Amino acid sequence: MKKRVGLIGTGWYGKTDLLRLIQVAPVEVVSLCDVDQIMLQEAGELTASRQLSKKVPRLYRDYREMLKERDLDLVLIGTPDHWHALSMIEAVKAGADVYVQKPTGVDVVESAAMVAAARKYGRVVQVGTQRRSTPHLVEAMNEIVKTGKLGKVAHVDMFCYYHMRSTRRDADAVAPAHFDYEMWTGPAPLRPYNPIVHPRSWRAFMEYGNGIVGDMCVHMFDMVRWMLDLGWPSSISSAGGIFMDPGSRANITDSQTATFAYPELNVVWTHRAWGAAADAKYPWGAVIYGEKGTLKLSVNSYDFIPLQGESRHRDCVMELDQYPEDREEKDLERNVAPAVRGHLKDLLRNIASRGQPVADIEQGHISSASCILANLAMKCGRTLRYDPAAGPAGQIKDDPEANALLARPYRAPWEHPDPAAV
């Protein structure tokens, strides 16, 4: 029997995930939801053209109305970050399994509530940290890391040198009639509407996400944790700011470093949205330094450089012959499509077995919350030591000021989720 699927958030990655799902499973997409009516209509037509039934899904403006039907087996969530928690929690309450984009939440408490909800309602939840399903990275983990070719690892560098921070200076304006800005803002602070925020450039504002750390570091940090079998860091510190472009409307950092400390190694993140990459072949990625060699990793390739013996290089394989529709799909990251397909296949296997997928919600929570804590460490100007076992949402040790930042205020009438009462 075909799984009945719904998508909340029909923008860039919502469609990327949904169309990859259609490629790998005989699903019926029955519901789509978005606050942008033009985007929603276009997604409905595109979905109909790609699914076997050729039916246009039901279209909703409010995800609560979509979930009220309680007829969905699987819900995909591709909204901006500030909507992940509430929509995911309501989806599992409605009896659906979920694929939710990273990061899990915008604050630590709502992220913890997502884990609590998945467990309470017995749902399978996969987070969109698809490096865990990237074929060449799976190979690197299995054939380089797990076989001991690196030896003891004592340091990891992670980085992003993409010029991805918006430099626009648009004036505030009136939201277009087809875009429900009030609903789009939801629990976040209500800023005057600015054309930068929609579509996609909402990432330029901390009100809706966690900057480049929450957007790009979470992928690499999650990959490193997975490869090296790391849990929560023992401490987190960070420093940075807006050093190069103070005149733009964006309020996320253009330069930042964060250290995730473990007992036997440090995992260090750096981003700067200016200048050239330290290695032109690796503008976004990670380098694992071992006593026997060095492993460079990115979405496009990996390179293993041993101290002795031959180096190994692998590139990603895009699978364009197997999935020719990828060639023409608007905005698709073709090099990432195989990873998304693999991630969705892993989710479907675990839905069938009721097991935990490779990027289970708890793993997504650890990676996401650690990145959120890095931003809090920068804001507080000191190292934070987070204890995940201290209460339903954990606590930062001996730091009442930082603990007060673990949950940010929600805008009325939206209510912040509580891990103890989801």
What confidence score (pLDDT) does residue 149 get? 98
338: which 2 tokens?
């195989």
- Cα separations (Å) of 20 from 74, 81, 334? 14, 21, 11
Q: How many domains does the chain have?
A: 1
Q: To which H or E segment does residue 284 belong?
A: strand 284-290
What confidence score (pLDDT) does residue 223 get? 99
Q: To which H or E segment does residue 66 belong?
A: helix 63-68
pLDDT digits (tens, 9 = 90+) for 63-112: 999 999 999 999 999 999 999 999 999 999 999 999 999 999 999 999 99
Beta bridge partners of 302: 297, 314
Q: How far apart are CA 111 and CA 106, in angstroms?
A: 7
Q: Cβ atoms within 10 A of the Cβ of 273, count?
A: 24
What confidence score (pLDDT) does residue 405 get? 98
Q: Is residue 92 part of a domain?
A: yes
Q: Is residue 274 part of a domain?
A: no
Q: Which 8-state DSSP code applies to residue 174? A: P
Half-sphere exposure of 407 (CA within 13 A, CB side): 19
pLDDT digits (tens, 9 = 90+) for 195-238: 999 999 999 999 999 999 999 999 999 999 999 999 999 999 99
Are 316 and 301 in contact by the 8 Å Cβ rule? The answer is yes
Domain that holds residue 354: 4-131+338-360
Q: Is residue 145 part of a domain?
A: no
Beta strands in 17-94 (DSSP E): 28-33, 58-60, 74-77
386: which 2 tokens?
């987070």
Q: Is residue 374 part of a domain?
A: no
Are 49 and 24 in contact by the 8 Å Cβ rule? The answer is no
Phi, psi of 73 (to 5 degrees): -85, -35
pLDDT digits (tens, 9 = 90+) for 320-341: 999 999 999 999 999 999 999 9
- For residues 288-299, average pLDDT: 98
Q: How far apart are CA 319 and CA 324, in angstroms?
A: 8
Return the residue matching tokens 């693999």.
Answer: 342
pLDDT at 144 over 90: yes
Q: What percent of the chain has pLDDT over 90?
A: 100
- For residues 286-294, average pLDDT: 98
pLDDT at 59 over 90: yes
What confidence score (pLDDT) does residue 422 get? 97
Phi, psi of 333 (to 5 degrees): -80, 95
- Cα separations (Å) of 388 from 22, 157, 369? 37, 24, 10
Q: How far apart are CA 422 and CA 419, in angstroms?
A: 6
Are 103 and 211 in contact by the 8 Å Cβ rule? The answer is no
CATH number at residue 115: 3.40.50.720
Averaged pLDDT score across all residues of the chain: 98
pTM for this predicted structure: 0.98
pLDDT at 1 over 90: no
- Cα separations (Å) of 305 from 2, 150, 286, 310? 46, 9, 14, 7
